[in-house]
Amino acid sequence: MATAKAPKSRKVPRIIDRPMSFCPGCGHGIIIRLIAECLEELGQDENVIFGIGVGCSSLLGGGLETDRLHCSHGRAGAVCTAMKRVNPDNLVISYQGDGDAYSIGIGETTSAAYRNERFTTFVVNNTNYGMTGGQMSNTTMPGQKTTTSVYGRDCDTTGLPIRFPEIVASQFENAAYVARGSVSTPANINRTKIYIKKALQAQISGEGYSLVEILSSCPTNWGMNAPDAMKHLEQVVTPQFPLGEFKNKEGK
């Protein structure tokens, strides 16, 4: 009787050289794997420089064997601007969380986008400040309890969650590529990889600024186990932050 062959495991990208230390169920590890796969497939894994934000995104540097610079809190947009201008032939990536990019770093992130700087920004949105204990961020959901909104976010006093990709797509005419993905399901993970690759290709071809926001679970600060956090991401968070491509200058 013939036995079924086990599926071949996918080769780990070369630049992932050690296990990462994210919390169990966190989406960062999936996202970094997707970025690494795209870099390798595009032949850019030895030609990339990362500007890494402060927060859980900082742990990217603990698992990738590649050039990278840990930036001051919120300043990755400014640092990556400088890196790309002095190294125009390198692929430059800003890797940040929603707190780093949209709260303390909102000025730098916005400035890079409206100047149409020729690098790529990946923002991991888990609706809170993950590394520092789960405080409210600019993307915290209405009614969401955090360590600084213990009764739930009151949008009448704190404003509504920011949808930064929609701002870039609608207000900054020269931006090359803008999308939002998620790691909530295998289908969404596959679509997110497509968005990541398109964003990198936009930079390679010199089209302009590219941005992909990626929705991620945060079981530790959401107070959930990993499966429940993924369900929450799909059923509660995603309706607040619609997925898809918002701008594609080349339409490819």
Question: Quick one: average pLDDT of 111-123?
Answer: 97
CA geometry: angle 61, 109, 209, nearest 5 deg = 90
**Under CATH, which architecture does the 28-147+158-248 domain have?**
3-Layer(aba) Sandwich (3.40)
234 DSSP assignment: I
pLDDT of residue 243: 98
User: 221-232: per-residue pLDDT in tens?
Assistant: 999 999 999 999
pTM for the whole structure: 0.93
Residue type, 6: A
Residue pair 60/95 in contact (Cβ under 8 Å)? The answer is yes
Report d(CA 98, CA 225) in Å as an integer: 22
3 state SS of 229: helix
Report d(CA 170, CA 20) in Å as an integer: 36
pLDDT of residue 252: 62
Average pLDDT, the chain: 92
User: 42-97: per-residue pLDDT in tens?
Assistant: 999 999 999 998 888 877 766 788 898 889 888 999 999 999 999 999 999 999 99
3 state SS of 147: coil
Tell which phi-psi region holds residue 22, choosing left (phi > 0), alpha (psi between -120 and 50) or beta: beta
pLDDT of residue 241: 98
